[in-house]
Amino acid sequence: MDFDLSWLLWGLPLAFVLGWIASRLDLRQLRIQNRDAPKAYFKGLNFLLNEQQDQAIDAFIQAVQNDPDTSELHFALGNLFRRRGEYERAVRVHEHLLSRGDLSREERDRAQHALALDFLKAGLLDRAEDALRKLEGTEYEGQALLALLAIYERTRDWPHASEIARKLEALGQGNFNGRLAHYLCEQVAGAQPAEAEKLLREAMKVAPEAARPGIELAAMQTRGGDAKAAYETLARLARSAPSHIPLMAGQLVDAAIATNRREDALAILLEAYERAHSLDVLEAIVALQADSAAGRDWYLKHLEREPSLVAASKWLTHEKLEHEQFHSLVQGALDHAARPLMRYRCAACGFEAKQHFWQCPGCQAWDSYPARRVEEL
């Protein structure tokens, strides 16, 4: 067979040209594919700018199906919807992310966390609870447990709240003993006396420095007619939680009078009053004085130390004045002015209330109410 050299001369450049054309075709194909994805984004963006958010989401979802790298866009979009209060849309975005099979574990956890936040913000607490429970063992576990704790506190599900508080403590998120004691105290309402006492004693064991279990136990013992036990409980509490004596001073006086232990109680109260000139302790000291005139002198002694409108008003109550007919008017005005000073105030949010709260009704913080009245703060 003849070997024609001219074939080689023609063939080589031809092969080169064909190869070049083929490579150009491949590149064009690639470019078309790449251009499809941005086109879907722009379409979605266009819908978004025209306030057609449903269509925008559909366009973005279509875009993301072809291109797994757009999960960031989904997260951004989902968070945007949640911030705008459009929870249903945020849920749709995050559920779509979770339904994809190509996400890494980190991204799945992130989507699960975002979904839980959607439900939380939407107030769908049972669905939020499910979503948060799925985050155990992930890097979001700590945040998820704190959110679960808030849910159980809000729904007053104390056994579950205790379970979560223990898990948080095991994760090294702080000391939850004070909270655990409150949860036990919260379960006392509605319990039978024997069960209630068991709960309170357990709370005292969990948090020996907490004042609430002792105060509630003493109140229960007083109601049950056992003033002696109530007095013992309060006297012990005065030693373990001296800063809370103002909250239990009234109870202590009642128990001391019932059990004839005035001197003993007075010694506890005087010592507490020397430490801090509390109005409630002052009231209790006055109540324990056998002679009412001597009792009222205590208000004057208090006024020498503190310019207290409350003490001035109380002293004036039984004072004989020169123009007796105006006494009730002056007294009324003073009482009116002093009333707001007798409130308790949350140290966390400033919420004021006539009664002392262990959990602030305003900001839900625990132990945020000092045991002192507004005038003394």
Q: Which residues bind Zn ion (CB under 5 A)?
A: 346, 348-349, 351, 360, 362-363
Judged by beta carbon, residue 84 or residue 154, the one nearer Zn ion is 154
Judged by beta carbon, residue 147 or residue 360, the one nearer Zn ion is 360
Radius of gyration of the chain (CA): 36
CA 251 to chain centre: 30
In the complex, least distance from residue 179 CB atom to Zn ion, rounded to whole angstroms:
16
In the complex, least distance from residue 149 CB atom to Zn ion, rounded to whole angstroms:
17
In the complex, least distance from residue 346 CB atom to Zn ion, rounded to whole angstroms:
3
In the complex, least distance from residue 351 CB atom to Zn ion, rounded to whole angstroms:
4
Judged by beta carbon, residue 311 or residue 346, the one nearer Zn ion is 346
10 Å Cβ neighbour count for 257? 15
Q: Cα separation of 95 and 339, whole Å?
A: 54
Terminal Cα-to-Cα distance of the chain (whole angstroms):
114
Angstrom distances, CA of residue 144 to CA of 97, 130, 173, 223? 19, 11, 12, 41
Q: Cα separation of 146 and 339, whole Å?
A: 38
Judged by beta carbon, residue 34 or residue 364, the one nearer Zn ion is 364
Q: Cα separation of 291 and 272, whole Å?
A: 21
In the complex, least distance from residue 365 CB atom to Zn ion, rounded to whole angstroms:
5
In the complex, least distance from residue 150 CB atom to Zn ion, rounded to whole angstroms:
14
Q: What is the DSSP string of 310-331?
A: HHHHHHHHT---SSGGGHHHHH
Judged by beta carbon, residue 270 or residue 363, the one nearer Zn ion is 363
Q: Cα separation of 48 and 64, whole Å?
A: 16
User: Three-state SS for 366?
Assistant: strand
The residues facing 345 across adjacent strands are 352
